[in-house]
């Protein structure tokens, strides 16, 4: 497949969730209302609340180049860091809260979140970590039918993106033994997991309506599948990534996701059917990605056997070469991948390295705190 076969270069956008920690103790703190008051003055509607008052979310505008995305990420992160500073707290880019709150924290004061507490109980308030923080990548698509087909084709590739992004080894004051504990915590929610393999957009919408009708989902936005057609934007939303302190990792993930989408959309338009990978095997691959991140094994979904995670990334890079070329992203993506490898294994290893300096969890929080500069 030549570069031109990858089709029109899709737009990309990123939503990032950040956790809030007390400036002194570094424990989770419910400071979102104060942070958002200042944040809205700096960033307008590109910043908003999340399920817990220990969290805030930023949303980039849709962009066409990785350089534009990088600039958006830096601007939004600086605004959130400055707003957190004014609220006497820190904005933290970790998939889970390293040090829990000393007290139970309620959900944010919105009707939808209060309904979630009523319906799901301990699934919401299962610990004092008070939230998990993801990085959601939006890739533009021509229409909803294309979105459903892309979600089908993405299924076997998403554990690899998840492994690259793994950045949540600590949770509730301890090392979980996982590189990406956020995935395991989030998997408890109804509607989370691999995207169902569905024939078309009509089948997708019918299934969503049925799940809402059963009460499993409060609304269609609670289809927390690993990739899904957005209910608000003309995009497919990839939801497997932890938030990362290094914006270069986010740019890398977005570049990989866009190139992969371009290649897979072309294949779908040619009538290539998505791999019929069993959900049980997909779940095994996602568990392995959460367990090891980049430093251990992934799952070869064609054989069901372990394989080094970095080899799966190299396979992905070969697969998406035409998409990278079409977007002009090849040099940037390969540079960022090389840099990530040279740093020894991504965000999870960065957190553990910080902890090993003095065996003090406050050092971990400091290592993933956003800067306003």
Backbone angles phi, psi at 262, to 5 degrees: -60, -45
Q: How far apart are CA 183 and CA 293, in angstroms?
A: 11
The percent of residues in the chain predicted with pLDDT above 90, rounded, is 84
Q: How far apart are CA 108 and CA 283, in angstroms?
A: 31
pLDDT at 8 over 80: no
Which whole number is the average pLDDT over 95-114? 87
Q: How far apart are CA 129 and CA 118, in angstroms?
A: 19
Q: How far apart are CA 187 and CA 20, in angstroms?
A: 22
pLDDT digits (tens, 9 = 90+) for 55-91: 999 999 999 999 999 999 999 999 999 999 999 999 9
Q: Tell me what pLDDT residue 122 has.
A: 81
Task: Please tell me the pTM assigned to this model.
Answer: 0.95
For 169-251, list the strands marked E by DSSP.
170-171, 174-175, 227-229, 235-242
Alpha-carbon Rg for the chain in angstroms: 19
Torsion of CA 125, 129, 130, 133, to 10 degrees: -120
pLDDT at 103 over 90: no
Structure tokens, 197: 């393999």
Q: Tell me what pLDDT residue 57 has.
A: 97
Class of domain 141-203+254-359 as given by CATH:
alpha beta
Q: Tell me what pLDDT residue 42 has.
A: 96
Q: Tell me what pLDDT residue 318 has.
A: 98
DSSP state of 156: G
Q: Which residues contact 102 (CB under 8 A, 6 or more apart)?
A: 27, 128
Sequence ranges of the domains in the chain? 141-203+254-359
Task: Tell me if 29 sits within 8 A of 21, measured CB to CB.
Answer: yes
pLDDT digits (tens, 9 = 90+) for 258-304: 999 999 999 999 999 999 999 999 999 999 999 999 999 999 999 99
Q: Which residues contact 278 (CB under 8 A, 6 or more apart)?
A: none
Beta-carbon-side half-sphere exposure of residue 264 (alpha carbons within 13 Å): 26
pLDDT tier at 9, thresholds 50, 70, 90: confident
pLDDT digits (tens, 9 = 90+) for 227-252: 999 988 899 999 999 999 999 999 99
Q: Which residues contact 151 (CB under 8 A, 6 or more apart)?
A: 195, 225, 227, 228, 229, 236
* Average confidence score pLDDT of the chain: 93
pLDDT digits (tens, 9 = 90+) for 179-212: 999 999 988 888 899 999 999 999 999 999 999 9
pLDDT at 350 over 80: yes
């Amino acid at each position: 497949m030549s570069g031109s076969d990858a089709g029109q270069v899709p737009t990309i956008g990123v939503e990032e969730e950040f956790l809030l920690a007390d400036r002194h103790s570094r424990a989770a703190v419910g400071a979102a209302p104060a942070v958002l008051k200042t944040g809205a003055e700096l960033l307008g509607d590109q910043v908003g609340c999340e399920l817990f008052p220990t969290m805030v979310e930023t949303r980039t505008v849709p962009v066409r180049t990785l350089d534009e995305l990088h600039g958006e990420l830096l601007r939004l992160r600086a605004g959130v860091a400055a707003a957190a500073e004014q609220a006497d707290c820190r904005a933290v880019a970790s998939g889970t809260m390293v040090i829990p709150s000393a007290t139970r924290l309620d959900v944010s004061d919105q009707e939808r979140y209060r309904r979630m507490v009523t319906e799901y109980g301990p699934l919401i308030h299962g610990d004092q970590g008070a939230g998990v923080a993801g990085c959601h990548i939006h890739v533009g698509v021509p229409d909803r039918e294309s979105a459903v087909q892309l979600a089908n084709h993405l299924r076997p590739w998403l554990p690899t993106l998840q492994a690259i992004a793994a950045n949540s080894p600590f949770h509730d004051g301890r090392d979980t033994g996982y590189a990406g504990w956020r995935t395991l915590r989030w998997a408890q929610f109804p509607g989370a997991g691999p995207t169902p393999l569905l024939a078309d957009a009509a089948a997708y919408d019918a299934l969503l309506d049925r799940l809402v009708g059963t009460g499993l989902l409060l609304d269609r936005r609670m289809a927390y599948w690993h990739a899904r057609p957005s209910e608000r934007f003309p995009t497919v939303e990839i939801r497997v990534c932890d938030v990362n302190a290094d914006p270069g990792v986010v740019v890398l993930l977005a570049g990989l996701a866009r190139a992969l989408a371009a290649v897979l959309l072309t294949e779908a338009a040619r009538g290539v059917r998505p791999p019929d990978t069993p959900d049980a095997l997909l779940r095994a691959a996602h568990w392995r990605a959460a367990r090891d991140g980049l430093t251990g094994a992934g799952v070869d979904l064609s054989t069901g056997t372990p394989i080094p995670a970095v080899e799966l990334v190299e396979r992905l890079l070969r697969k998406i070469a035409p998409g990278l070329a079409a977007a002009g992203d090849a040099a940037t993506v390969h540079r960022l991948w090389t840099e990530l490898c040279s740093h020894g294994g991504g965000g999870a290893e960065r957190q553990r390295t910080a902890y090993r300096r003095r065996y003090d969890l406050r050092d971990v929080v400091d290592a993933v705190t956003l800067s306003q500069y």
